[in-house]
Amino acid sequence: MRKLIVLTGLFVVLMSTAGAQNMSSPYSVYGVGEIQELQPDRSSGMANTSMAIMSTPGFLINKNPASLIGLERSVAQVDLGLVGKFVSFKGNSISGDNSSTRDVTIKRISISAKLGNHWASSVGFKPFSYVNYSFNAQKSIEGSSDTYTGLYEGNGGLHNVFWNNAFSIGKKKNLALGIRSNIIFGSINQIETLAGNTLSSPIVSQVTNFYSGFRFEGGAMYGAKINKNWRLNLGGKVTAKSDLQNEKTLTVTEGNTFVEQDKVLEAVDYKLPWQYDAGIALVHKGRATFTVDYSYGDWNKLNPGGGTWTMVNNERISAGFQLSNQVSRYGVTGEKNYFSAGFFTGKSYLEVKGQEIKELGGTVGFGGYLNRALSFNLALEAGRRGTIANNLVRENYFQFTLSLAYREVLYSKGRKYD
């Protein structure tokens, strides 16, 4: 148990020191930034198509809160998810200086345990969104003929602390239910720096929005054998609409002089929509898995937009395949490793200059056990997002995901493990 505590503490320290998101994105200027819906886990190699997939010993599945019940009884597990990403930008406004970006970030830590035959619980931390952009624009002041060069920057993001509980229903445990409670909080900074011949010193204005609120997800999963060789799994999740309260302040400096300092401004709360997810999976002899997911978010005009952008309903559809390599020893069959692949397409909740922000990509993955206590998953993803129409920016990206899990027995006292 000591190893588990030390490892969890180490992961928390790593995430606190590496929590800053250095990945630039032109689309993070809108709303509360780039929302991180998908999480690194075993399903990363099959395009995160896992709404109807149950967690297994050593491999946590995060998409459906109900899937947590698939872990081993009386065994605690600590998970770490790491994502590295390289993005190249295409568009009329892109030059050699801003044509690409890269970053490696810890995306999730959690500690989980199945505390009985019918109950599993998990707590953890992950990023909810990030903001990182920078661009130049000319600005004219009302009542003056002067024009100033403006540098516009954004940074920060929101964090998510969660508590997930899952329950199996009935003796056969065909039905599982789960609920995930989320606390979302964090600050976003928007900085304007004006310079010009008529200004003796640059004028820097910083608006800080601090958001906080709760969000709840409810999931269900049902699985049953169709015949001797095939099993059917169905999964679904509903994420409740919620409000993030906003506290807004303004600080203005001219050179080394404060013109305004932490002035409280009127703020508008940010609304998160109802979201619906559904999935189906077919499993052949416990080895080959074929699965499809669909996600829908009711963002349409939920929050005020801007002069060139608005919010629209988002959608995502994905399909995945997984092949499990199983071995038999002493009459017991267990998984040694697995291979997975997937494909996804969808559109964002943003519409900019009349253009939908669409995405498309594919994934492959491989994972297994390094020893009895340690398991890993490695996934590669390539895709594109956005468009170059109407002077927008298209992102072509490549990313890798590494997930690690360490397990340790909590107690045994002669009990048998499920």
Please name which of 69, 54, 164, 65 lies closest in space to residue 110, comparing C-alpha atoms: 164
Give the number of other CB atoms < 10 A from CB of residue 116. Answer: 13
Q: Is the sign of the CA dihedral 84, 125, 362, 67 positive or negative?
A: positive
- What is this structure's pTM? 0.91
Q: Are strands 175-195 and 147-169 parallel, antiparallel or unpaired?
A: antiparallel
> Which helix or strand (DSSP H or E) is residue 397 part of?
strand 394-409
90-121 tens-digit pLDDT: 988 777 667 888 999 999 999 999 988 999 99
Q: Please state which architecture CATH assigns to domain 2-409.
A: Beta Barrel (2.40)
Q: Which of 297-306, 325-334, 359-368 has the highest mean pLDDT?
A: 359-368
User: In whole angstroms, what is the distance from residue 186 CA to residue 160 CA?
Assistant: 9
**pLDDT at 38 > cutoff 70:** yes
250-289 tens-digit pLDDT: 999 998 899 999 999 999 999 999 999 999 999 999 999 9
**pLDDT at 339 > cutoff 60:** yes
pLDDT of residue 326: 84
User: In whole angstroms, what is the distance from residue 344 CA to residue 100 CA?
Assistant: 23
Give the number of other CB atoms < 10 A from CB of residue 96. Answer: 6
Percent above pLDDT 90 for the chain: 74
- Mean pLDDT of the 227-237 span: 97
Q: Give, in order, the Cα–Cα distances in Å from 9 to each of 14, 114, 117.
A: 9, 20, 28
13-37 tens-digit pLDDT: 555 554 455 678 889 999 999 999 8
Domain ranges of the chain: 2-409
- Mean pLDDT of the 68-75 span: 93
